[in-house]
């Protein structure tokens, strides 16, 4: 007779969740500017949205090109609900208003999901793209509900003041978002530890086998999508409270593409991957976007590099080091990593120089040939900056190849060492 | 003894080619039944028809007296029939334990639940541990199924097949590609896990077939040319001519 293994409380897991919650709560006390608060609020909403997307992509193996449909429709329903609440048509606390978005997301998950989840793989991806485009077209056709190009605006400050909470100040909205984000993160993580969550993995990995252990793969995918739509709808609802406006962009292909990129870059195969991805994404949008107009190019480049060299995303890059750290073998990697970092900086400097100079040359060379980069001012029409940039790019590429070979060699030796220890 | 599975004039065509040509077969409950035949005889196709992987072109299949023709694999599985595959078909990225637990969830009634925590499902976890022990993979509990040896993967395949507690088990070439020692272990495993169940097995290794089977059906070009006890099959001239030759003696 087998005995069940006794598993004590997973302290590590509680610690990770506790630290995450603490960081989210404390961050606005450290970064007090309004701009940072806005970014952090966006990240909070983005985390829910990306994790809901990863229920499809990472957990269920469903590559969706139209996930913003559920968050967008959730946002529209929330914004209409907020307007009705403010008119006194019915009473509903603003704090709980995102649940309206969640219900709307789940409802449309039922409607669209039944069709899209009949098939998996490419067929699912194509149908999701079609539904995304269809709903986006509807948003411009039915302006009574969607508000046309201007969208639908609302005012989140309404009703009586409860315990001083009006949602007027941005900090109150931030904590509303963080509260919901923590609840949704916990709920979505809990889902991965349920029979449906595990069977979503099974259907992703081997749908045929899943059918032969009694599961209707269509139903598993369908229920996963409905739940994913629910959480996406909550994200949409929070977004509408945060911005006080919803436009067709909220459910368009750009929003669907952004969450796909963020999730993939972070690591779809890991629960926390999309969280990393969404942070990286917003850093690219705000920090890089604040410096250069070519930020989308850099984001695309990052996506390309991740697809080619780290398909498991940043999460896999982090986790691959865990056994090395446990075996106390990191010291073998520091030197090759330092070399790779230095040569990488040279390569990046060359690449950024070429991109920025080309961009400036094509846009302003006739009227304003002068430009500044890395604190250096120069004339973009002269040869010297181009020669330096090309030198950095080519030189950086060549030395980077040597550095990465050293990294590869060090990893090869480490893997061999780990295998020998196991044996 | 009541009939566990019954095939009535079952036919299967792929285009104009007839693969299964009117197979009639009745297998009583609790019998270990082997289906043998030369390559291309239609043995795996027959399994695919019984388990719902392929639709029938004609005839009917009854499981415990009820027609299962036209049902999907998961519907047939829920009615108490489970199968293994000729090419190992497991959840490669999951651990051995997770593989087996996935196979017990439906039968224990957890279905599509997203309100139960897997760690708290004592019955499912206990059943998974028991199955792992019975297939000899307890020590490999947390190992990813994809890195198991071939014989271990075949054992896991059998484990997944029996885990749900199905009364009718279909094993498609369970010892294919195994060494002699591995085959002997697999035979013992099959004998143990099929105790009290109806077992239908496609197998090329005649040693395994004659060791395990209570009855053997010989399929040649999509037709059952003989269905009898092993000792009678050995002496059946038509079978010898069509398939066994002198090797079975």
A213/B129 CB distance under 8 A: no
What share of chain A in percent tops pLDDT 70? 97
Neighbours of A209 (CB within 10 A): 24
Show residues of chain B in contact with A219, CB under 8 Å: 112
Show residues of chain A in contact with B90, CB under 8 Å: 206, 209
How large is the average pLDDT for residues B180-203? 95
B200: left (phi over 0), alpha (psi -120 to 50) or beta: beta
Classify residue A71 by burial, with Cβ atoms within 10 Å: 0-12, 13-18, 19+.
buried
- Alpha-helical segments (H) within B51-120: 73-78, 96-105
Tell whether B132 is within 8 A of chain A (Cβ): yes
Phi, psi of B248 (to 5 degrees): -80, -10
Any idea what the Cα angle at residue B135 is, between residues B130 and B141, rounded to 5°?
A: 65
Tell whether B111 is within 8 A of chain A (Cβ): yes
- Given a cut of 90, whether residue A367 has pLDDT beyond it is no
Residue A43 binned pLDDT confidence (cut-offs 50, 70, 90): very high
Of A79, A126, A73, the C-alpha closest to A104 is A73
Q: Of B78, B110, B117, which has the smallest distance from its Cβ to A193's Cβ? A: B117
Distance of residue A82 Cα from the nearest chain B Cα, in angstroms: 30
Residue A421 binned pLDDT confidence (cut-offs 50, 70, 90): confident
B51/A219 CB distance under 8 A: no
A208/B117 CB distance under 8 A: no
Query: What's B118's DSSP letter?
Result: G
A197/B110 CB distance under 8 A: no
B77/A206 CB distance under 8 A: no
Tell whether B106 is within 8 A of chain A (Cβ): yes
Say if residues A77 and A100 touch (Cβ distance below 8 Å): yes
Tell how far CA A417 is from the center of its chain. Answer: 35
Show residues of chain A in contact with B91, CB under 8 Å: 201-202, 205-206, 209
Say if residues B72 and B22 touch (Cβ distance below 8 Å): no
Q: Can you give the pLDDT at residue B249?
A: 41
- Given a cut of 50, whether residue B248 has pLDDT beyond it is no
Distance of residue B74 Cα from the nearest chain A Cα, in angstroms: 4
Q: Can you give the pLDDT at residue A312?
A: 95
Of A71, A73, A100, the C-alpha closest to A84 is A100
B126/A2 CB distance under 8 A: yes
Residues B151-162 have pLDDT tens digits of 999 999 999 999
Residue A149 binned pLDDT confidence (cut-offs 50, 70, 90): confident
Tell whether B94 is within 8 A of chain A (Cβ): yes
Structure tokens at B171: 């094993």
Residue A370 binned pLDDT confidence (cut-offs 50, 70, 90): confident
Q: Can you give the pLDDT at residue B244?
A: 58
Residues A51-87 have pLDDT tens digits of 999 999 999 999 999 999 999 999 999 999 999 999 9
Which of the residue ranges A360-369, A410-419, B101-110, B158-167 would you say has the lowest mean pLDDT?
A: A360-369
B82/A212 CB distance under 8 A: yes
- Chain A residue whose CA is closest to B78: A214
Query: Average pLDDT of chain A?
Result: 93
Q: Of A3, A201, A213, which has the smallest distance from its Cβ to B94's Cβ? A: A201
B113/A195 CB distance under 8 A: yes
Q: Can you give the pLDDT at residue A10?
A: 73
Structure tokens at A260: 């796909």
Say if residues A327 and A285 touch (Cβ distance below 8 Å): no
B110/A195 CB distance under 8 A: yes
Number of H helices, E strands in chain B: 9, 10
Q: How many CB pairs under 8 A join A and B?
A: 105
Tell whether B238 is within 8 A of chain A (Cβ): no
Residues A301-327 have pLDDT tens digits of 999 999 999 999 999 999 999 999 999
Q: Of A7, A209, A214, which has the smallest distance from its Cβ to B91's Cβ? A: A209
Residue A8 binned pLDDT confidence (cut-offs 50, 70, 90): low
Residues A209-249 have pLDDT tens digits of 999 999 999 999 999 999 999 999 999 999 999 999 999 99
Q: If you count them, how many residues does chain A have? A: 423
Distance of residue B232 Cα from the nearest chain A Cα, in angstroms: 34
Residues B25-79 have pLDDT tens digits of 999 999 999 999 998 999 999 999 999 999 999 999 999 999 999 999 999 999 9
Show residues of chain B in contact with A52, CB under 8 Å: none
Supply the ipTM of this predicted assembly: 0.94
Q: Can you give the pLDDT at residue A287?
A: 87
Tell me the C-alpha distance between A36 and A347, whole Å. Answer: 30
Tell me the C-alpha distance between A320 and A79, whole Å. Answer: 43
- Chain A residue whose CA is closest to B74: A214
Show residues of chain B in contact with A190, CB under 8 Å: 117
Show residues of chain B in contact with A106, CB under 8 Å: none
A198/B160 CB distance under 8 A: no
Show residues of chain B in contact with A193, CB under 8 Å: 117-119
Task: Please provide the CATH number assigned to the domain covering B3-244.
Answer: 3.40.50.300
- Chain B residue whose CA is closest to A206: B91
How large is the average pLDDT for residues A17-45? 91
Structure tokens at A26: 């404390």
Residues A97-117 have pLDDT tens digits of 999 999 999 999 999 999 999
Say if residues A128 and A66 touch (Cβ distance below 8 Å): yes
């Amino acid at each position: 007779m087998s005995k069940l293994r006794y598993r004590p409380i997973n302290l590590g897991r509680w610690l990770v969740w506790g630290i995450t919650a603490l960081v989210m709560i404390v961050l606005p006390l450290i970064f007090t500017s309004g701009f940072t608060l806005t970014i952090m609020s966006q990240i909070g909403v983005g985390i829910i949205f990306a994790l809901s997307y990863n229920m499809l992509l990472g957990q269920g193996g469903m590559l969706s090109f139209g996930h913003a449909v559920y968050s967008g429709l959730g946002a529209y329903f929330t914004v209409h609900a907020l307007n009705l609440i403010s008119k006194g048509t019915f009473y509903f606390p603003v704090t709980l208003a995102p649940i309206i978005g969640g219900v709307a997301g789940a409802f449309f998950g039922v409607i669209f999901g039944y069709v899209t989840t009949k098939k998996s793989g490419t067929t699912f991806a194509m149908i999701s793209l079609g539904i995304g485009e269809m709903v986006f077209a509807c948003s411009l056709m039915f302006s009574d509900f969607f508000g046309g190009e201007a969208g639908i605006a609302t005012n989140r400050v309404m009703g009586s003041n409860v315990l001083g909470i009006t949602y007027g100040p941005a900090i109150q909205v931030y904590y509303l978002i963080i509260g919901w984000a923590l609840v949704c993160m916990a709920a979505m993580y809990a889902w991965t530890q349920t029979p449906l969550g595990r069977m979503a993995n099974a259907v992703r990995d081997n749908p045929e086998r899943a059918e032969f252990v009694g599961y209707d793969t269509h139903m598993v995918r369908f229920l996963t999508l409905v739940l994913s739509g629910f959480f996406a709808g909550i994200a949409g609802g929070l977004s509408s409270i945060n911005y006080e406006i919803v436009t067709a962009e909220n459910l368009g292909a750009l929003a669907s593409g952004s969450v796909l990129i963020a999730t993939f870059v972070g690591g779809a195969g890991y629960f926390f991957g999309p969280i990393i991805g969404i942070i990286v994404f917003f850093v690219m949008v705000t920090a890089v976007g604040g410096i250069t107009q070519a930020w989308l190019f850099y984001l695309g480049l990052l996506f390309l590099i991740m697809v080619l060299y780290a398909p498991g995303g940043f999460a896999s890059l982090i986790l691959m080091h865990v056994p090395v750290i446990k075996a106390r073998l990191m010291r073998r990697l520091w030197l090759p990593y330092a070399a790779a970092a230095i040569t990488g900086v040279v390569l990046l400097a060359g690449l950024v120089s070429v991109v920025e100079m080309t961009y400036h040359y094509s846009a302003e060379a006739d009227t304003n040939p002068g430009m500044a980069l890395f604190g250096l001012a120069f004339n973009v029409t002269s040869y010297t900056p181009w020669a330096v940039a090309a030198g950095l790019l080519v030189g950086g590429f060549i030395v980077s190849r040597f550095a990465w070979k050293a990294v590869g060699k060090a990893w090869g030796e480490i893997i061999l060492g780990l295998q020998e220890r196991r044996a | 003894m009541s009939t566990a599975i019954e095939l009535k004039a079952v036919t299967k065509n792929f285009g104009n080619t007839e693969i299964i040509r009117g197979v009639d077969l009745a297998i009583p409950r609790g019998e270990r039944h082997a289906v043998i035949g030369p390559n291309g005889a239609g043995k795996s196709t027959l399994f695919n028809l019984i388990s719902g992987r392929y639709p029938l072109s004609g005839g009917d299949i009854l499981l415990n007296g009820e027609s299962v023709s036209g049902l999907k694999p998961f519907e047939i599985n829920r009615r108490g029939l489970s199968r293994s595959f000729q090419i190992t078909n497991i959840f490669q990225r999951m651990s051995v334990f997770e593989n087996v637990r996935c196979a017990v969830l439906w039968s224990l009634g957890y279905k599509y639940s997203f309100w139960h925590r897997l760690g708290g499902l004592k019955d499912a976890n206990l059943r998974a541990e028991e199955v792992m022990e019975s297939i000899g993979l307890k020590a490999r509990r947390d190992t990813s199924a994809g890195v198991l040896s071939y014989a271990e993967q075949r054992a896991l395949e059998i484990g997944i097949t029996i885990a749900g507690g199905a009364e009718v088990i279909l094993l498609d070439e369970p010892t294919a590609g195994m060494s002699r020692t591995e085959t002997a272990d697999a035979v013992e495993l099959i004998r143990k896990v099929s105790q009290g169940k109806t077992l239908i097995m496609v197998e090329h290794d005649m040693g395994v077939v004659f060791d395990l089977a209570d009855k053997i059906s010989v399929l040649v070009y999509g037709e059952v040319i003989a269905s009898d006890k092993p000792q009678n099959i050995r002496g059946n001239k038509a079978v010898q001519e069509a398939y066994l030759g002198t090797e079975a003696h």
